[in-house]
Structure 1
């Protein structure tokens, strides 16, 4: 969008391996069955990426959502966030911003958080909602088409073509080669391992990000309502007493639902809130961050391995009551039926997450929930549901210049898949940085 806004006489081709947004249908939702392992998964692939079926939250802060400030500076990032937010408003984002208006209540929650050894980060959040997010993405696509951009869905990029250290184009499925002077790689979290493979092949150095692994927590909406009413999404950070591991809340969805994701055959869990319909529950992720040291350099493989254990034991995503986890017993169908929290993800298999997670991860998750119970009584209830595994595949970061250019001339990388962002706003901002870098070379 930035390229056509600044200069409309250049040829632009967008390639997406998934389906067009109107054809992104998940059978597990429409037919109420277990994940049928569609390839590619329409929940995470297709026009709009995983964000199209996310909760659609625009986090308007430089503190959350990535590390783009390390490349362009915090002041420049702040300006870009305002710019990107304005573009979303142009295409139909709602005017309301949560999380900054009631200073007295915010300060009260911050005091409670400190007393429970939690850090509460107040941020402005503009909530699109899943349905409205898709509407905005459709409008953006129509704008691009009307501006002369060529868009091809159902087209996977297999390989990046480089000659004498300079980009020449890409090779798509079927072996066809497409040539171009500039290429931006933005494969999303689902494509992070593919991007890491291309980087290895081309000799582009990688840096190791922390790997985030954890659970999706589901409670009655009334438990979190004091927080969600003020913040919409309350962002907490905690350091475990047992191992000093960083634990954080992520992607809080008031009155939302827990959903499945399929990452190339690996079934994981996520959550979102609809713009136009509500459930009786609120869900959020509790993620444990772990940065590996030498000689280990495969954080994505590690995350996939942990998630695969849940798939192996439960045939997909597993769900366990917190009370059963603490008591050292498996949740079965009988125990789940007695839960006061009614699960919104019926496809999850009742099981025992202690057979899936490393001990230090489980300890960190349980400690975090206990601390959160001081802020929102009821979080540490025996009826709280834990779905596993939730894992974020952005754990390898390409070495990039402040223009987001790789060591290959005119080859740029952006978004979550490149490891530089962790959310819609900074991912969008990174695209603007890459586009402006290209524009400066065309003038």
Structure 2
């Protein structure tokens, strides 16, 4: 059994920055980073290579591998405590902002300095939104773009590999704690590694796995909110006045019917919708590029309805997965519907999609979202779209 001082499980954002920070310490610690995905140079989604649909690769090249799910994303870095996590609840808002500024400095040092930094601070959009019962959250956003994002991670990898051993295409089957307080991890191919300190940084795709580890070690877990939603794709011109101004607009709306919160999330101007495979369940995300030659005619963004459940509800992961599984069952993968068909209570068909002025950037199965998404969440989403239409006519 090979032993290390530190083992990091997961090569996503947390794992990558953990390995980076360890290189700066004035200690000669031995470090191993393990990820079930591919090294950066091998992360190629078959859809980008010409496949018409998600092949359900295991592991998914979009979700797993060096850099994690953010590697092939649109590379937005948000500097704010108003969304994107609750670190400020643990370290305070001032310290959280200080850490975000530091991460931005690191990203700029590895090639992100040329990326434009947007801000909502002085945007007139905030006033326009408030007049229409919408709230624009405050943030600064540095848009790296998928292309620049990959190059930054390439440089970080080259910098860190001198002091960090890395194992890819490797899953962890179990974690054991020895009597002396050290840890032993067992890989899927039977190898055993020992370490003094163990960091579990498996991200969203590993959330169920890490939940099981927490149960095994008696670590208390907090029930997270459940976000259910859709990804909206429309002609970029409709949101151009917004995306040119603030690029990433996090807009929140409280619905009249249920008093629920709905928000925009992950806006991708001139971007594309991409499929993601999380443990066999296919969902979608959005990407956009800094290089204008790679842009599309569409903008896409997510609309998410947040719900917090009380007892006896326990498994937020399972609730969200069950809805995604139902969508996959009906559509054989990603399900697509025109908004006009949705509000008229009819399913979209190939014939109706051909009449649509918006050309989807991802091949998907036309269908009926009302057979998948619970009525309350779907009503909230429809109401939010009508609200957005007031500040971006044509939505």
Give a deviation string over 1:298-338, Cα, whole Å, max 9, x none. Answer: 11000000001110001001110000000000000000011
Q: CA deviation at 1:275?
A: 2.3
- The equivalent residue for 1:291 is 308
Contact 1:94-1:127 within 8 A present in 2 as well: no
Give a deviation string over 1:171-201, Cα, whole Å, max 9, x none. Answer: 2112322111111111011111111111112
- The equivalent residue for 1:137 is 153
- Relative contact order (alpha carbons < 8 A, sep ≥ 6): 1 or 2 greater? 1
Q: CA deviation at 1:165?
A: 9.5
Give a deviation string over 1:59-84, Cα, whole Å, max 9, x none. Answer: 01122210011111111111111111
- The equivalent residue for 1:112 is 128
Query: What SS class does the counterpart of residue 354 from structure 1 fall into?
Result: helix
Structure 2 residue corresponding to 1:302, chosen from 310, 314, 319: 319
Structure 1 residue corresponding to 2:55, chosen from 20, 28, 36: 36
Query: What SS class does the counterpart of residue 208 from structure 1 fall into?
Result: coil
1:101 to 1:121, Cα distance in 2 relative to 1, 3 A: closer
Q: Distance in 1 between matches of 2:190 and 2:173?
A: 8
Q: Distance in 2 between matches of 1:101 and 1:28?
A: 35
1:166 to 1:360, Cα distance in 2 relative to 1, 3 A: farther
Q: Distance in 1 between matches of 2:125 and 2:282?
A: 35
Contact 2:225-2:307 within 8 A present in 1 as well: yes
Alignment pair present for 1:251 and 2:254: no
Q: CA deviation at 1:96?
A: 4.3
Query: What SS class does the counterpart of residue 269 from structure 1 fall into?
Result: strand
Structure 2 residue corresponding to 1:339, chosen from 356, 364, 367: 356
Q: Distance in 1 between matches of 2:253 and 2:178?
A: 47
Query: What SS class does the counterpart of residue 289 from structure 1 fall into?
Result: strand
Q: Distance in 1 between matches of 2:223 and 2:229?
A: 19
Alignment pair present for 1:93 and 2:93: no
- The equivalent residue for 1:382 is none
- The equivalent residue for 1:75 is 94
1:39 to 1:210, Cα distance in 2 relative to 1, 3 A: same
The alignment of Structure 1 onto Structure 2 pairs a total of residues equal to 374
Q: Distance in 2 between matches of 1:66 and 1:279?
A: 30
Query: What SS class does the counterpart of residue 360 from structure 1 fall into?
Result: helix
- CA RMSD, Structure 1 to Structure 2 (Å): 1.4
Contact 2:118-2:142 within 8 A present in 1 as well: no
Q: CA deviation at 1:163?
A: 3.5
Q: CA deviation at 1:31?
A: 2.1
Contact 1:260-1:267 within 8 A present in 2 as well: yes
Give a deviation string over 1:405-434, Cα, whole Å, max 9, x none. Answer: xxxxxxxxxxxxxxxxxxxxxxxxxxxxxx
- The equivalent residue for 2:41 is 22
1:122 to 1:95, Cα distance in 2 relative to 1, 3 A: farther
1:357 to 1:158, Cα distance in 2 relative to 1, 3 A: same
Contact 2:120-2:139 within 8 A present in 1 as well: no
Q: CA deviation at 1:35?
A: 1.2
Q: CA deviation at 1:202?
A: 1.6
Give a deviation string over 1:342-362, Cα, whole Å, max 9, x none. Answer: 11012x100000000000000
Contact 1:59-1:124 within 8 A present in 2 as well: yes
Query: What SS class does the counterpart of residue 356 from structure 2 fall into?
Result: coil
Query: What SS class does the counterpart of residue 48 from structure 2 fall into?
Result: helix
- The equivalent residue for 1:160 is 175
Unaligned runs of 5+ in 1: 380-443
Q: CA deviation at 1:94?
A: 3.4
- The equivalent residue for 1:413 is none
Q: Distance in 1 between matches of 2:110 and 2:136?
A: 31
Query: What SS class does the counterpart of residue 167 from structure 2 fall into?
Result: strand
Alignment pair present for 1:358 and 2:374: yes
Query: What SS class does the counterpart of residue 118 from structure 2 fall into?
Result: coil
Higher deviation after alignment, 307-316 or 110-119: 110-119
Structure 2 residue corresponding to 1:322, chosen from 339, 342, 349: 339
Query: What SS class does the counterpart of residue 139 from structure 2 fall into?
Result: coil
Q: Distance in 1 between matches of 2:133 and 2:341?
A: 25
Query: What SS class does the counterpart of residue 215 from structure 1 fall into?
Result: strand
Query: What SS class does the counterpart of residue 308 from structure 1 fall into?
Result: helix
- The equivalent residue for 2:166 is 151
TM-score where L is the length of structure 2:
0.92
Q: Distance in 2 between matches of 1:366 and 1:165?
A: 57
